[in-house]
Structure 1
Amino acid sequence: MMTIDEEVEKKEILNKYRKLLRHSKPFLQAGDAKLIKRAFSMSLDAHREMRRKSGEPYILHPLAVAQICVEEIGLGTTSIIAALLHDVVEDTEMEIEDVKRVFGEKVARIIDGLTKISGVFDYGSSQQAENFRKMLLTLSQDVRVILIKLADRLHNMRTLESMPRNKQLKVASETIYLYAPLAHRLGLYAIKSELEDLNLKYTESDIYEEISNKINDTKTSRDRFIRRFIAPIQSELKDQGFDFVIKGRPKSIFSIWNKMKKQEIPFEQVYDLFAIRIILNSDPENEKADSWKVYSIVTDFYKPNPDRLRDWISTPKSNGYESLHTTVMSASGQWVEVQIRTKRMDDIAEKGYAAHWKYKDNASAQESGLEQWISKVRDLLEQNNSPAIEFVDDFRSNLFNEEVFVFTPKGDLRILPNGSTALDFAFDIHTEVGARCLGAKVNSKLVPINHTLHNGDQVEILTSNKQRPNEDWLQFVKTSKARSKIKDAIKEDRKLWAAEGKEIIKRKLKQIKMELNSETVEQLRAFFDAKTLLDFYSEVGKGKIDPRDIKKFKQAREISRKISEERISDAKTFQKEISKIKGGNQDILFIGEDMDRVDYKLAKCCNPIPGDDVFGFITVNEGIKIHRTSCPNAAELMSHYGYRVVKAKWASQKSSAFLAGLKIIGTDRVGLINDVTRIISDELKVNMRSITVDTDTGIFDGSISLYVNDTIHLDLLIKKLEKVPGVVKVSRYDTV
């Protein structure tokens, strides 16, 4: 049992509280310190008997969240109070009304936005999604709700070590699915990068450790390279009288891993492991001119790559990001990214939305980018009545997109997500314009509504009163607004068709002497493969389902009843046959908190094999499905349905065969395929299901689908194949 030294704990709590006050001091106004002290005392008292999973007093968590709000995001007194009290309503006897009485409406509203909804939810809904929706809806009133939630999530991720494995996966998946993209969209680059890195640490810990160690191992040589690279630039900037700081910082582990995956290269071949950042102290009116002067100095010493110049000073990103980026060739033949920005731009890049308030007096046109996005989000949130999961997915789909800058016929600038179409532009102008959109003129040329827009396009929308949104439109719109409005219009149409379809079904069932009840209607829906009753009725109304086919349904139901009766009478024999097919010597997978042996299926989206890091997911119709933690669907499943995730762990690896895929790349030569298949079949006795080979200009590219026992067996096979002369790379891929 853990011994607790109360005096040491009291001292630690007091030190953290004093540190918070020290960092808050520069912006505190008369009476603020007393309010913060009152909030701290209230939180301390409310959480007095509570401890975190790590064993530490719970009050250290709200203190840490408040510290992040002040130090890393740059929020003020209201946010500190809300951060200190953010869990009291959810976890203790205190009510929102108590908070409102002491600290006022603003603080109470923020805490209400941060408090999770409790209770029972509709079948098929997700508590996580409902809570995300509640939190996002508060964004329309006060952005600080999201900023404090990001601080809360960052501290939870930093202290995730003490949580059980399934909780780690759930929290990490929610983080990468929604919170990291939110931090990105609100311009909180440092927090976004740390959240991504911490997600990788808990979902793919081996990869995280490997890249982290390699970054540390190359630190000395990297620092030496940076000193040599910046020396001539520093000297010239001083000579020209610039007040500046130059930093060299490595890319985040997550972005390095993404590049390795995307380009299929090892760590050693990632050339831009770091960026050089030049930060100027410059007057607001000279910022742009000074940045371009520095660019000129850099390119006097190093040759720039013309395809890698990014000017986000003239046209800032919609999250407020401003900077000048160029990639130059160093003297040693290595590409280096150089970022040029002012102190104000750097503050906004690191602290995002919160930093805007610091420069409010110097408000310039570029500040409106983030304000415009917040305004659009408010409109979307207020008008959206989709189910919570759909709502969160729609909202998230716009968070990570880069922008495209286009103009109206009058020359007004519109910023849309990259990949947006003429139809997105139409809905951005007005909902009615979007709903009636027939086509567009882009740069005076007639184009269809699914035409993808590019930077600088001037767009004129053509409309017709006969035009109506249809489901095909959803395939080529990018913006949440367009998607939401199209869905609303389709739903309205569907309701009209469904009302007509319901009447048709009533009449038809009456003709064939079948009773109209919930069981019959549900069976009809299943028989015609409709997802919902509304879909079924509307398909009938549109004429896509022929009412005459209901006779076939009646016949099928009668046959089905006969078959089910016959099957039930011979259930034991049926069970024996199943056991024969399955065999008795399978690998054991322990599932759940108590590590029980239960029935499961392996998910086809990622094909886990014994030895893989896995989790169980309780499906609605197919029992427990086992996924790899690196499965492409893992983040979404655990984010939406964390309560349906269960622990799963391989207990032994016997001789069962599991399907896996290998991709082999190399230089083509006579006998290469023979050498590869000999190792697979003869040396390691592995059965192949299929092999496809493509050779082009001396390059060998093969995909092999084969059966292995576990990850150890697979790793051994990969190592053996990599030693075959001519083979350059062997990697695992997910078979379908």
Structure 2
Amino acid sequence: MTIDDLADRLKGYLPPEEVQAVRRAYYYAEQAHFDQRRSSGEPYVTHPLMVAHILANIHMDYESLIAALLHDVIEDTRVTKEAVAQQFGESVASLVDGVTKLTQIPFSSKAEAQAENFRKMVMAMALDIRVIIVKLADRLHNMRTLGALRRDKKVRIARETLEIYAPIAHRLGINTFRLELEELSFQAIYPMRAERIRRAIASTRGHRKEVVKKIQQVIQQRLEDEGIVGRVIGREKHLWSIYSKMRERKKSFKEIMDVYGFRIITDNVDNTYRALGVVHNLYKPVEDRFKDYIAIPKANGYQSLHTSLIGMNGIPIEVQIRTRDMEEMANKGIASHWLYKAGKTDKPIGGVNQDRTRQWVKGLLEMQRHAGNSLEFIEHVKDDLFPDEIYIFTPKGEIMTLPVGATPVDFAYFVHTDIGNACVACRVDRRLAPLSQALRSGQTVEIITAPGARPNLAWLNFITTARARSAVHHFLKNQQVSESVTLGKRLLERALVHFDAALEDVQEHTMHKVLQDLGYQQQQDLLEAIGLGTQMAYVIARKLLGLVETETQAVASRHTLAIRGTEGMVTTYARCCYPLPGDPIIGHISSGRGIVIHREQCPNLNEVRQDPEKCTPVHWAEDIDRYFPVALRVELANQKGNIAQLATIATELDANLEQINTDEKDAHLSIINLIVSVQNRIHLAQLMKKIRKLTQVHRIVRR
């Protein structure tokens, strides 16, 4: 392929001045890459030229083609973004910069570099979606020319393509790109499996060809008899599709190949539904295997009717019915009909598909803001791609597309992050329902919010969408930071009291020096570290007061830290001894977890009990109003209704039975281990006293 071949192809849909601009970009790229060669030994400029050819095949605009020709000049040559902007305009320069990798920044791993480059590209996509279309064409040509690379590099690039770029092509509806990216990735990662499936297909092709031709003729004839304008074609199965189905559905090659696929292309929407009636009259439809993606398009804008039938001699048939425009959309997705306003190249004339894509990119940006780092972000993106979909109605009748398994919490975050954060309950089809309930297509969901409500850590056990998971993680992370700072301040103030000092007495220059020595930017960072247990309050107090490290004598503590039970995530209660208000307690400073509260006599603290850097004196505050778990062991005679009686007593005394485990001691006695939530030691004593009165109870002890 040469620049002349490309220009001839472009003349079919671009005006002469735009074709000339593309030519000029080619010569600019040729000069910039003059002395560079690809791994295969070819001149480097052949790569950007082929990327432009790929984009020309889907009729992309001239700016995208220029960006394709120049997409490596900023990264691999001395040409700057400013130079590209001066020659070809800001829009082209932004496209080129969006595709350019971050090569000047050192990364600790290849995975981090890939993730950070993808993150940068998402930011550019938000301004111009053409960035990702150019990048997909670039990746497609790289996949076509993997042969010259080492095996390990081939596999790494192919895996990234299969996990990220092929799903993105699917998400944008560019089916032609997706299928080829999947096929090439499969062949690079599993060459022997791909070859074996290819041979198996070749060996069955003769018989299949006959069956396909026969069914095709029957359907075509019936359409003509009914006066429906339509074309019937047999659908080829792709290697990756066959392999994926064999693996996921645990089916043999023969079972997968026994299903015959056909596509009917009609001239208008009315005829798609008429054609559906024809095939349903011709062959018996399979119950629950009909999908109407015309009335309710997929998230990527894909529209078609899907139905499964039992054909002649019991042969399973899958049929897709769509219009010519829908076929174009299915193959080219957002790249189809890429039109621009005259003289304005910043915004495409939007169809529904462009709007959906902008919504998706907006969701990616939200995830990007919430992610702690680029690796976390790319994991959320992977979760977000390629979902099976359900369709949920809002109370106003609007349709929302969510992945299969989504819950009302996922729905709430899909509507808006603030609604998700404030969600407390929901109605599904006008009835109150659990927030953890998996939704089904066609249900109407209403979210109930409350001021001051906040996400629950338990939501992470059932939410399925990357957007919801990312938002909950972000909220909880910020909440933990806030709580850590508060706790850290209390711990440091208490440590300073050891030396008859207070935090407000510490000089600003002293604080600045300590922060500098420890590598913190500001006081809040240090307090957070103390709250999380990664820095010891006692040690920091000594540094702030300029005490020498060898000093071992400290003024006896006159103040201990009050525990109220509302400290949040940075104060936890040990599951080895289950402390309750009323118990003498001690705080163990655990790195990364904050303070863990133990009973004073807990044997697990024997080794660190006297270490002021690892343990801190604490006491229960007087105004505690919450429940705490406690473990009980009950030995009682074997008889029916034991557990029911224990549950009844707990309910009567306003205690909450959280967990029950039963073990048989011998033929006559059982041991029941309980986890019960109570308010304090007095509440526990009342509960144990009432249980002890049961005639079958031999012994009850607190574990």
Mapped to 2, the partners of 1:197 and 1:558 lie a distance apart of 64
Cα shift readout 1:430-458 (whole Å, capped 9, x = no counterpart): 33222111110111110122222211111
Say whether residues 1:371 and 2:355 are aligned partners.
yes
CA separation of 1:422 and 1:540: change in aligned 2, threshold 3 A: closer
Pairing partner for 2:481 from 476, 495, 499: 495
Pairing partner for 1:476 from 462, 467, 474: 462
Greater mean deviation of Cα atoms: 52-61 or 533-542:
533-542
What is the one-letter code of the residue matched to 1:212?
A: R
Partner of 2:98: 113
Say whether residues 1:215 and 2:201 are aligned partners.
yes
CA separation of 1:359 and 1:325: change in aligned 2, threshold 3 A: farther
Structure with the larger helix share: 1
CA separation of 1:547 and 1:137: change in aligned 2, threshold 3 A: farther
Partner of 1:298: 279
1:481, distance to aligned residue in structure 2 (A): 3.2
- Contact 2:259–2:318 (Cα < 8 Å) also in 1: no
Partner of 1:344: 325
Say whether residues 1:97 and 2:78 are aligned partners.
no
Cα shift readout 1:45-76 (whole Å, capped 9, x = no counterpart): 111211111111111111111111121x3312
Mapped to 2, the partners of 1:65 and 1:245 lie a distance apart of 32
1:146, distance to aligned residue in structure 2 (A): 0.5
- Contact 1:497–1:542 (Cα < 8 Å) also in 2: no
Mapped to 2, the partners of 1:75 and 1:247 lie a distance apart of 27
Mapped to 1, the partners of 2:150 and 2:107 lie a distance apart of 28
Cα shift readout 1:226-246 (whole Å, capped 9, x = no counterpart): 111111222232344444332
Pairing partner for 1:145 from 109, 116, 131: 131
1:412, distance to aligned residue in structure 2 (A): 2.2
Greater mean deviation of Cα atoms: 133-142 or 385-394:
385-394
- Contact 1:313–1:323 (Cα < 8 Å) also in 2: yes
What secondary structure does 1:441 align onto? Answer: strand
What is the one-letter code of the residue matched to 1:304?
A: P
Pairing partner for 1:190 from 176, 196, 212: 176
1:121, distance to aligned residue in structure 2 (A): 4.6
Mapped to 1, the partners of 2:320 and 2:391 lie a distance apart of 22
CA separation of 1:553 and 1:193: change in aligned 2, threshold 3 A: farther
What is the one-letter code of the residue matched to 2:571?
A: K
- Contact 1:501–1:540 (Cα < 8 Å) also in 2: no
Say whether residues 1:257 and 2:243 are aligned partners.
yes
Partner of 2:298: 317
1:534, distance to aligned residue in structure 2 (A): 7.5
What is the one-letter code of the residue matched to 2:587?
A: R
Mapped to 2, the partners of 1:201 and 1:17 lie a distance apart of 30
- Contact 1:505–1:547 (Cα < 8 Å) also in 2: no
- Contact 2:259–2:316 (Cα < 8 Å) also in 1: no
CA separation of 1:214 and 1:385: change in aligned 2, threshold 3 A: same
Say whether residues 1:46 and 2:32 are aligned partners.
yes
With normalisation by structure 1, the TM-score equals 0.66
Mapped to 1, the partners of 2:384 and 2:404 lie a distance apart of 10
What is the one-letter code of the residue matched to 1:179?
A: Y
Aligned positions of 1:155-234 closer than 5 A: 155-234=141-220
What secondary structure does 1:400 align onto? Answer: coil
What is the one-letter code of the residue matched to 2:123?
A: L
1:158, distance to aligned residue in structure 2 (A): 1.0
Mapped to 1, the partners of 2:530 and 2:356 lie a distance apart of 39
Greater mean deviation of Cα atoms: 475-484 or 206-215:
475-484
CA separation of 1:501 and 1:85: change in aligned 2, threshold 3 A: same
Mapped to 2, the partners of 1:543 and 1:226 lie a distance apart of 66
What secondary structure does 2:442 align onto? Answer: coil
Greater mean deviation of Cα atoms: 294-303 or 108-117:
294-303
- Contact 2:37–2:43 (Cα < 8 Å) also in 1: yes
Higher relative contact order (CA 8 A, sep 6+): 1
What secondary structure does 1:449 align onto? Answer: coil
Partner of 1:11: none
Mapped to 2, the partners of 1:16 and 1:454 lie a distance apart of 53
Say whether residues 1:414 and 2:414 are aligned partners.
no
Mapped to 1, the partners of 2:192 and 2:608 lie a distance apart of 53
Partner of 1:29: 15
- Contact 1:404–1:415 (Cα < 8 Å) also in 2: yes
Mapped to 2, the partners of 1:189 and 1:360 lie a distance apart of 26
Partner of 2:663: none
What secondary structure does 2:11 align onto? Answer: helix
Mapped to 2, the partners of 1:216 and 1:533 lie a distance apart of 67
Mapped to 2, the partners of 1:307 and 1:345 lie a distance apart of 23
1:511, distance to aligned residue in structure 2 (A): 8.8
Partner of 1:426: 412
1:249, distance to aligned residue in structure 2 (A): 2.5
Mapped to 1, the partners of 2:340 and 2:200 lie a distance apart of 39
What is the one-letter code of the residue matched to 1:170?
A: R
Mapped to 2, the partners of 1:49 and 1:340 lie a distance apart of 51
CA separation of 1:547 and 1:68: change in aligned 2, threshold 3 A: farther
Mapped to 1, the partners of 2:181 and 2:220 lie a distance apart of 33
With normalisation by structure 2, the TM-score equals 0.69
CA separation of 1:532 and 1:316: change in aligned 2, threshold 3 A: farther
- Contact 1:74–1:351 (Cα < 8 Å) also in 2: no
Aligned positions of 1:519-598 closer than 5 A: 536=533, 541-544=570-573, 548-550=587-589
1:309, distance to aligned residue in structure 2 (A): 1.2
Cα shift readout 1:408-441 (whole Å, capped 9, x = no counterpart): 2222222222222111222233332221111101
- Contact 1:437–1:467 (Cα < 8 Å) also in 2: yes
Partner of 1:595: none
What secondary structure does 1:450 align onto? Answer: coil
CA separation of 1:117 and 1:544: change in aligned 2, threshold 3 A: farther
Mapped to 1, the partners of 2:393 and 2:531 lie a distance apart of 40
Mapped to 2, the partners of 1:557 and 1:170 lie a distance apart of 50
Cα shift readout 1:566-618 (whole Å, capped 9, x = no counterpart): xxxxxxxxxxxxxxxxxxxxxxxxxxxxxxxxxxxxxxxxxxxxxxxxxxxxx
What is the one-letter code of the residue matched to 1:59?
A: V
Mapped to 1, the partners of 2:56 and 2:258 lie a distance apart of 32
Cα shift readout 1:326-379 (whole Å, capped 9, x = no counterpart): 122221321011111111000000111111546999xxxx95255234224225
CA separation of 1:159 and 1:557: change in aligned 2, threshold 3 A: farther
Unaligned runs of 5+ in 2: 343-349, 500-510, 520-527, 535-566, 575-584, 591-603, 612-703
Larger Rg: 2
Aligned positions of 1:371-390 closer than 5 A: 371-378=355-362, 380-381=364-365, 384-386=369-371, 387-390=373-376
1:93, distance to aligned residue in structure 2 (A): 0.9
Mapped to 2, the partners of 1:216 and 1:427 lie a distance apart of 48
- Contact 1:66–1:84 (Cα < 8 Å) also in 2: yes
Mapped to 1, the partners of 2:610 and 2:143 lie a distance apart of 56
1:87, distance to aligned residue in structure 2 (A): 0.6
Mapped to 1, the partners of 2:496 and 2:329 lie a distance apart of 68
What secondary structure does 2:313 align onto? Answer: coil
- Contact 1:443–1:457 (Cα < 8 Å) also in 2: yes
What is the one-letter code of the residue matched to 1:115?
A: T
Say whether residues 1:269 and 2:247 are aligned partners.
no
Partner of 1:608: none
Greater mean deviation of Cα atoms: 178-187 or 450-459:
450-459
Say whether residues 1:77 and 2:62 are aligned partners.
yes
Mapped to 2, the partners of 1:212 and 1:266 lie a distance apart of 15
What secondary structure does 1:22 align onto? Answer: helix
What is the one-letter code of the residue matched to 1:459?
A: V
Greater mean deviation of Cα atoms: 80-89 or 371-380:
371-380
CA separation of 1:114 and 1:257: change in aligned 2, threshold 3 A: same
What is the one-letter code of the residue matched to 1:90?
A: E
Mapped to 1, the partners of 2:281 and 2:42 lie a distance apart of 56
